Amino acid sequence: MSMLQNDPAFLFFPESYRWSTGLLLCLGGAPWGGAEINEVHRVGTALRDKVGDDQAWFDEWTRMGEKVEARGRAAMARGKTVTAISCLLRASHYYQTGERFLHPKSERGSKIYHRSVQAFRDAAGMMTRPRIEFVEVPYEGKSLPAILVHPDQDVARGKPAPAMVFFDGFDVTKELQYFFGVADLAAQGVGCLIVDGPGNGESVRFRDLPLIAETERYGTAAYEYLAARPEFDAKRIGVMAISLGGYYAPRAASLEPRYAACIAWGAQWDYHDTWKRRFELLDSGKLPSLSVPPEHLAWVMGTQTRDEAMQKLEGFKLDGIVQKMRCPFLMLHGAHDQQIPLELAQKCFDAVGSENKTMMVFKAEEGGHHHCQVDDLSLGVYSMWDWVTDVLRPGT
Q: What percent of the chain has pLDDT over 90?
A: 98
Domains of the chain, residue spans: 14-126, 128-392
Q: What is the mean pLDDT of residues 174-178?
A: 99
Query: In angstroms, what CA-CA distances link 292 with 24, 100, 102, 154, 371?
Result: 14, 7, 9, 40, 13
Q: Model confidence over 242-297: pLDDT tens digits? A: 999 999 999 999 999 999 999 999 999 999 999 999 999 999 999 999 999 999 99
CA 220 to CA 87: how far, in whole Å?
Answer: 35
* Peptide linkage before 104 cis (omega within 30 of 0): yes
Min mean pLDDT across 1-10, 25-34, 178-187, 213-222 is at 1-10
CB 23 within 8 A of CB 40: yes
Residue 5's pLDDT is 72
Instruction: Specify the 3-state DSSP secondary structure of 365.
Output: coil
Q: How confident is the model at residue 3 (pLDDT cuts 50, 70, 90)?
A: low
Closest by Cα among 244, 260, 245, 274 to 328: 260
CA 225 to CA 234: how far, in whole Å?
Answer: 10
DSSP state of 151: P
Secondary structure element (H or E) that encloses residue 163, with its range: strand 161-167
Q: What is the mean pLDDT of residues 95-103?
A: 97
CA 40 to CA 36: how far, in whole Å?
Answer: 6
Instruction: Say if strands 191-195 and 161-167 run parallel, antiparallel, or are unpaired.
Output: parallel
How many helices (H) does the chain have, and how many strands (E)? 16, 8
Q: Model confidence over 305-348: pLDDT tens digits? A: 999 999 999 999 999 999 999 999 999 999 999 999 999 999 99
pLDDT at 37 over 80: yes
CA 243 to CA 26: how far, in whole Å?
Answer: 16
Side by side, the strands of the sheet bearing 357-362 are: 132-139, 142-149, 191-195, 161-167, 232-242, 261-265, 329-334, 357-362
- CATH class, domain 14-126, is mainly alpha
Residue 6's pLDDT is 85
**CB neighbour list of residue 6: distance below 8 Å, 6 or more residues apart:** none
Tell the burial category of 359 from Cβ atoms under 10 Å away from its Cβ (0-12, 13-18, 19+).
middle
Residue 1's pLDDT is 39
Q: What is the mean pLDDT of residues 153-171?
A: 97
CA 24 to CA 46: how far, in whole Å?
Answer: 16
Q: What is the mean pLDDT of the chain?
A: 97
What CATH topology corresponds to 128-392? Answer: Rossmann fold (3.40.50)
Query: In angstroms, what CA-CA distances link 81 with 72, 87, 89, 92?
Result: 9, 10, 12, 16
Predicted TM-score (pTM) above 0.85: yes
CA 70 to CA 51: how far, in whole Å?
Answer: 27
pLDDT at 2 over 90: no
